[in-house]
Structure 1
Amino acid sequence: MTDAPFKWTCIKCDNEISQYQEYCAECEEKQYRKIGGFLYLPLLSLFALGYSYFSSLQITLQAGLITAGHAPIAQSGYFFIASGVNFFALLYVIFTTSLFLRKKKQLPLAYTILLAGGVALTLLDLVCTACLFPSVALGYEQIMPVVRRILHACIWIPYFRYSVRARKTFIR
C-alpha cells in the first residue's frame, strides 16, 4: 500500500475530477456533443411516426375523395378533416426531427407535446370513428394504437425530462 491519497480521474484522459463525475469538463463536452445512448431510439421513432402520419394522410385523403358525394357529408367531411390534421401532425414531426438533429434546447418540450398530442389525436380519432361509423366495431386493431402511444409517451416523456444524457445533450 502506498501512502498517497486516492484520486478520482476522468475515464477518458486521466485528469483529476471530483468523486461524483465520470468525465472532466473537456471530455464531458465532447461526450455529450453528439447524440448517443438511448437517444437513437426516439430519433428512429420520429422517422417511424413521420411515415405513419404520411401514410395516414394518404389513406384518409383517398377515402375522402372516394366517398365525396356518395356518403353522408359528416363521414366524407371527417376524412378531409383527418387529412388536414395528419398533414399538420406530419409538419410537426418534421419540425421536431429538425430540432432533434440540431440538438436544440426546445426539443424536450416539443417532443413531449408531440407524444401527448399523438395520444390525444389517436383517442379523438377513435371516438370520432365510433360515432360516425357505427358499423365499425371497436376491437384489438382500434385499441392497440392507443395503448402503444400511451406506453411510448410513458417511457419517453420522463426520459427527456429527467435523463442526464438528454439534459446534457439538448439543454446544456
Structure 2
Amino acid sequence: MSDTLRRKRLVQWPRVALTVGGVLVAATATTFVVRTGDAASTIADSSTTPTRTVVAIPGPLTSTPPPAPVTVTVPGLPAETPVMISPPSAAAAPMAQATVDPAEIVYTVAGNQRPDDPVTITYADEVGALRTVENVSLPWRLTVVPTVPVNYVTASSNGSQLNCWITDARGATVAAATDNTISATCNR
C-alpha cells in the first residue's frame, strides 16, 4: 500500500468515529424519549390520576366585557379545565356599598394559579409606600383607605395566569389588567 493511500485512510478515521458517535448519541436520546413518553402515558392511564378543581372569582363591575374563558393545562392532570370569570351580580353590589368609606379602594388579584407556583403581590399601602406579599393564594383582595392619590398593585408568578383590578368605593373599576399573563399590573 502506498504511503499516500495510507495517509488518506488515517485522515478519514476521525470522521468515521465522529459519525458513529453521533448516531449512537441520537439513538440513545431517542430511546430515552420513547421510554419517558411510555411512562407518562402509563401514568395518565392509571385510575389514580390526580384531579384539580379550579375556582374563579368574579371580577369587579366594569364597563368592558368579561374576559373569554381561560383554559388551564397542567401536565399529569386528566383534561383541560375551562374557567369563565364573570362579573358579580347586581344585587350584591348595593349591600356592599352601604357601609363603605367613600375614599376606600379595593385591590383584587385573581386568575388561574398553577399548583406549587408562588404568586408575589406588590401594592401601595395607605401612605403610598410599596408593600410586598409573597406566596399568595388566589384570589387575593385587599381594601385600603389611602391618604395619598397613589393606587398601585402588581402580581407576578412563574407560570400562573394573573389578572388585577383596582375598584373604588362604588365598585367601579378604576384600573384593570385582564390579559391572563404571568404578570399583571394596575395603577392609577
Would the TM-score normalized by the shorter structure come out above 0.5? no
Structure showing the higher strand proportion among its residues: 2
TM-score range, shorter chain: under 0.3
Structure 1-normalised TM-score? Answer: 0.26
Point out the structure with max Rg over C-alpha: 2
Structure 2-normalised TM-score? Answer: 0.24
Structure showing the higher helix proportion among its residues: 1
Q: More relative contact order in 1 or in 2 (CA 8 Å, sep 6+)?
A: 1
